[in-house]
Amino acid sequence: MVRPASFGFNKDTAVDNSFQNFTEVEHLDNIEEKALAEFDQYVTYLRKNDIDVIIVDDTPEPYTPDALFPNNWFTTHQDGKLILYPMKPLNRRLERRTDVVEMLEMCFHVSDIIDLSPYEEKEIFLEGTGSIIFDRVNKIAFACRSHRTNEILFKDHMKKLGYEGILFDSVDEEGKPIYHTNVMLSIASDFVVICGASIPNVEERKLVLDKFSSLGKEIIDVTYKQLKDFTCNVLEVTNLKEEKTLTMSTRAFNAFTEEQKNKMGEYVQLLHSPLDIIETVCGGGSRCMMAEIYLHEQLYV
C-alpha cells in the first residue's frame, strides 16, 4: 500500500471514471489530511486483524494524486514474475517507481520482470488488477473491454501467463463502458461479487456467470446502486493466521444486504473501514489500494 503525499482530484482520470465526484467534498476543509487519516486508520485496522501490510511512502514530486492505487501499475505472481503495466492517464505513469521494484527484489524472489509499459507509446493500455481480475487458483482471468483495457494485449498477456482469458463488455446505467473491471467484479476463493446487470450482452453475461458456477463459486449479484457504493471493489486477503478475510470500505459494507453479508460471512471474515474521502475524490476503493504480493520471501541467514 502507498501512503499518499499528493492526494487530490485527478482530472486526467475523471474523463472516464464516473466514480469520482469532487463536488460532494469540495466544501470540506483539509481534504488531504482527512484522506491521510482514512489511510492510516485503515492500515492500523488491517494490522490489528493480522494482515501483513507493507507501506511505501509516496513522494511529493512528481505530482501523483492517485499514487495510493498501486494495483494498477504492477502485479506479482507465485512463479516469481513481476509485471509492469501500461496506464492511460499521463500523470499515473509517474507512479511506477524503480525503488519500489528494487525493494521487492531485495525482499522477495523475483525471477523475471515483464515490462509492458512501452505499449503506452502505441496508446495500448492494460491497467493491472484494475483491468484484470485474476482467479489465480483456476488460472482464469476476467476483463471488461474499455479504453483502459486493450483486448488484444489482454489476450496475448493471458496466453503468456498460462491463463484462460474471458472478455466481455460492461456498462453503467447510462450505457457508458465501465472503465475498470474491478468496480463490477471481485473473485474470492468461494464466491464472487458481481454486478450482472452491467453486462448488457445476454450471451456474455451467461458465459461469465456459468463459468463461476462451474467453478463452484457462489454468486453474490449486486445492483447498480450497490455497485456505486464500491461493493465490487473488495479483496479477499489471507491473514497471518491463514484466515480468509474480505477487505472493503464501510460504505461498501453498509451497501450489502444482510443476506449477502451472511452468505459471504460463511466463507470469510468481513473487514471494513471508512474510506469516504478517498472513494469520493479518487473514485477508487479498498481493492484499488492494495497490490498483492504473491512472491516468496527472501531468506537471509
**Cα–Cα distance measured from residue 76 to residue 60, given in angstroms and rounded to the nearest whole number:** 26
pTM over 0.85: yes
**Cα–Cα distance measured from residue 247 to residue 259, given in angstroms and rounded to the nearest whole number:** 18
**Cα–Cα distance measured from residue 251 to residue 274, given in angstroms and rounded to the nearest whole number:** 7
Predicted local distance difference test score (pLDDT) of residue 283: 81
Q: DSSP characters for 185-211?
A: EEE-SSEEEE-GGG---HHHHHHHHHH
**Cα–Cα distance measured from residue 68 to residue 242, given in angstroms and rounded to the nearest whole number:** 26
Average pLDDT, whole number, for the chain?
A: 93
Predicted local distance difference test score (pLDDT) of residue 17: 56
Predicted local distance difference test score (pLDDT) of residue 56: 96
**Cα–Cα distance measured from residue 250 to residue 9, given in angstroms and rounded to the nearest whole number:** 21
**Side chain identity, residue 116:** L
pLDDT tops 90 at residue 266: yes
Contact between 191 and 220 (Cβ < 8 Å): yes
Predicted local distance difference test score (pLDDT) of residue 6: 78
Please state, for a pLDDT cut of 70, what percent of the chain lies above it: 92
The set of cell numbers assigned to 227 is 455497485
pLDDT tops 90 at residue 69: yes
**Cα–Cα distance measured from residue 84 to residue 191, given in angstroms and rounded to the nearest whole number:** 28
CA-closest candidate to residue 239, choices 45, 2, 36, 78: 45
**Cα–Cα distance measured from residue 104 to residue 54, given in angstroms and rounded to the nearest whole number:** 10
Strands 164-168 and 185-187: unpaired
pLDDT, tens digit (0-9, with 9 covering 90-100), for 74-130: 999 999 999 999 999 998 999 999 999 999 999 999 999 999 999 999 999 999 999
**Cα–Cα distance measured from residue 22 to residue 111, given in angstroms and rounded to the nearest whole number:** 42
Coil/strand/helix, residue 113 = strand
**Side chain identity, residue 103:** M
**Cα–Cα distance measured from residue 95 to residue 108, given in angstroms and rounded to the nearest whole number:** 21
Q: Where are the domains of the chain?
A: 2-289
Predicted local distance difference test score (pLDDT) of residue 63: 87
What's the burial of 301, exposed, middle or buried (CB within 10 Å: 0-12/13-18/19+)? exposed
What's the burial of 258, exposed, middle or buried (CB within 10 Å: 0-12/13-18/19+)? exposed
Confidence of residue 30 (pLDDT cuts 50, 70, 90): confident
CATH fold of 2-289 reads L-arginine/glycine Amidinotransferase; Chain A (3.75.10)
Q: How many residues does the chain have?
A: 301
